[in-house]
Amino acid sequence: MAEDESKGESGGRHAVTVEDLLTFPALQLSVLAGADGLRRSVSWAHPSELEDPTPWLLGAEMIMTTGLALPRTADGQRAYLERLDDAGVSALAVSAQLHMPPLHPAFRAAAEERAFPVLEVPLSVPFVAVSQAVSAAVADDAGQRVGAQLQVFGALRWLAAEDLDTRGLFQRLERLSGYDVYLSAPRGGPLLPGVPPAPDPAVLPDRAEDAPPTVPGGFVLPVPGPGGPAGFLVAYERQGARPAGLSVAQHIATVAALRLAMVRSERETARREGAETLAEILQEDLDQDVVRRRLLRHGIDGDCVLLRVRGATDDELLAALAGHPHLLLHRGGDHHVLGAPGLGDTAAALPGVSVGRSRLFPAGAVLRVAQREAAWALTKAVESGRTLVTYGDGDPGRWLPRDPAVLTALVEHVLGAVIAYDAAHDSRLLASARTWLERDRRTDAAAAALHIHPNTLAYRLRRFSEISGRDLTATGVLAEVWLAIQAAQALGFTE
């Protein structure tokens, strides 16, 4: 039976196999049938002359009989073998001659179909010798397992004493246990940095509490976490190694749970520190030398960008940015992210988000302009339905200088009177002109976007020209006004 074969052959509970016993010269065993199952593991060898010994078995035993247990009929022999195989018995050893009935072709065919080894023990070899040989081999394997368990218990001490990272820790556990270890999140992604997820996510159970631990070639075990499994450990026997068994794999899953808790705690500490640092930087509460030192502490150096992200949860964004140096702050309903330019593409890969990205600036620079650029770019991303917009891409704003003083002078010179009039009269002349220019001077479309009548918009545009002293029918004036509006948006002077 395929399931029982996987338990005996690849479950990893015992390293002594039927094939190993064939190599013991003193036992003189030979194969009568079922040679394809010789890799089944053996936990014990015991004589039984019961026609149905299965109620007293645990699995992985080799049953020995002088022949009294074997039925005489073909159907009876086949049923006897099938009962043993279904109970997880590793092999049947029959004594040569003595009380052995003839083995029917149906019995041998069942052994071949199920890859269930049937061995012959010569009369010169007493069953007790077979039992002693299996017992000694299993005891030697048990000693290796106990040693492996004791060393696994010391895994967290390695972390403290040797400063092992997660990858180094689990590589050592692999060498110790005889398994290739994988750690998967419940949906199949990586659970811990440096440890690959299971190559075949199909082995991960839907409900860990109901799933058996064995799979062909090893085990799948839940990694405990608050409220249920945090993920799964998949351990496959490594070719040429001595697998240490289920209990050691369970201990490794516990180590994974502890390491995951440590990593999450470290991440939360780094997130809080990063959020506090970014809040102080945005408020310009820190000296620039202090800013640079703190950014270096978080692994941020060289050119940076500021992102403003909308539509992502904390967990989604933290998972996406894991492994990338960054500062993250949740404020005003959006996330602010400071880091390398590529973080924009990483954040934009999340479903349902809108991301605004500032232009590049050196690490440690004042973020006043970058904040406005990221906010403007996010607005454009939301309005256009694009996932990621970088300030200045395909827009006249890219020609503007970065110096806030120069931008302020441009705004005051071109738009100062209009901004003052709007503030004094609660009017929207500047917003109306901006919307009209954004709609390529199409009055009906701009009026619809502003929810006003086209005649009202035409009146506002005339008042804009009168107060600013600029004729909006002249091409040069339009270019000047448009650039000034972009500068006003960068400085936060417009809605």
Separation CA 109–CA 127 (nearest Å): 26
- Flag whether pLDDT at 10 surpasses 50: no
Q: Is residue 278 part of a domain?
A: no
| 317 and 232 belong to one structural domain | no
Tokens of 356: 């605004």
Q: Which helix (H) or strand (E) holds 261?
A: helix 246-282
Residue tagged 């602010």 (tokens): 336
For residue 100, what is the domain's CATH number? 3.40.1390.20
pLDDT beyond 70 at 151: no
> With 0-12 CB in 10 A as exposed, 13-18 as middle and 19+ as buried, what is 238?
middle
188 has pLDDT over 80: no
CA angle, 93 as apex, 76 and 71 as ends, to 5°?
A: 15
**Same domain assignment for residues 351 and 376:** yes
DSSP-based three-state secondary structure for 441: coil
Residue 47 domain-assigned (yes or no): yes
53 within 8 A of 80, measured Cβ to Cβ:
no
Structure tokens, 340: 């390398």
Which of 282-296, 299-313, 407-421 bottoms out in mean pLDDT, i.e. has the lowest? 282-296
- Please tell me the predicted confidence (pLDDT) of residue 251: 82
Confidence of residue 4 (pLDDT cuts 50, 70, 90): very low
Give the domain extent around 99. Answer: 2-140
| 3-class state of residue 420 by DSSP | helix
Strands 61-65 and 361-362: unpaired
Per-residue confidence (pLDDT) for residue 3, from 0 to 100: 40
Q: Which amino acid is at 90?
A: S
CATH of the domain at 372: 3.30.70.270
Residues 123 and 238 in one domain: no
Burial category of 452 from C-beta neighbours within 10 Å (exposed 0-12, middle 13-18, buried 19 and up):
middle
Q: Is 15 within the bounds of a domain?
A: yes
Amino acid sitting at position 338: L
The CATH code of the domain that includes 450 is: 1.10.10.2840
| Residue-wise pLDDT tens digits, 220-231 | 888 988 878 888
Same domain, residue pair 380 and 413: no
Q: How confident is the model at residue 453 (pLDDT cuts 50, 70, 90)?
A: very high
Residue 373 has pLDDT above 90, yes or no: no
CA angle 242, 245, 248 (to 5 degrees): 110
Phi first, then psi: what are they for 380, rounded to 5°? -65, -40
Dist. CA 252–CA 158, nearest whole Å: 14
Same domain, 189 and 108: no
Task: Give strand pairing partners of 233.
Answer: 183, 221
Which of 78, 111, 140 is the C-terminal boundary of a domain?
140
Supply the DSSP string of 202-227, one letter for each residue: GGS-SSGGGS-SEETTEEEEEE--TT
Q: What is the largest CA-CA distance in the chain?
A: 120
Look at residue 172 in the predicted model and tell me its pLDDT. Answer: 85
In a shared domain, residues 164 and 119: no
Which has more pLDDT, 212 or 39?
39
In this prediction, residues 86-113 reach a mean pLDDT of: 90
Q: Which of 115-124, 289-298, 312-321 has the lowest mean pLDDT?
A: 312-321
Is residue 46 in a domain? yes
Tell whether 268 is covered by a domain: no
Task: Look at residue 246 and tell me whether its pLDDT is greater than 80.
Answer: no
Alpha-carbon distance of 255 to 154, in angstroms, equals 10
In this structure, is residue 271 part of a structural domain? Answer: no
| Distance separating alpha carbons of residues 446 and 439, to the nearest angstrom | 6
Same domain, 417 and 379: no
Domain boundary among 263, 298, 327: 263
| pLDDT band of 141, cuts 50, 70, 90 | low
Q: Render pLDDT for 326-369 as a digit per residue (tens, 0 to 9).
A: 999 988 889 999 999 899 998 898 888 999 999 888 888 888 88
**pLDDT tens sequence across 393-410:** 655 555 566 666 777 888
| 384 assigned to some structural domain | yes
- Look-up: residue for tokens 């500032």? 358
Block residue for tokens 């330019």:
341
Does residue 272 fall inside a structural domain? no
Question: How is residue 176 written in tokens?
Answer: 């110790």
Domain boundary among 344, 370, 393: 393
Structure tokens of 256? 């994974």
CATH number of the domain enclosing 210: 3.30.450
Rg of the chain, C-alpha, whole Å? 37
336/166 Cα distance (integer angstroms): 29
Based on the domain organization, do 96 and 210 belong to the same domain?
A: no
Q: What is the pTM of this model?
A: 0.43
Closest-CA residue to 93 (of 144, 27, 148, 158): 27
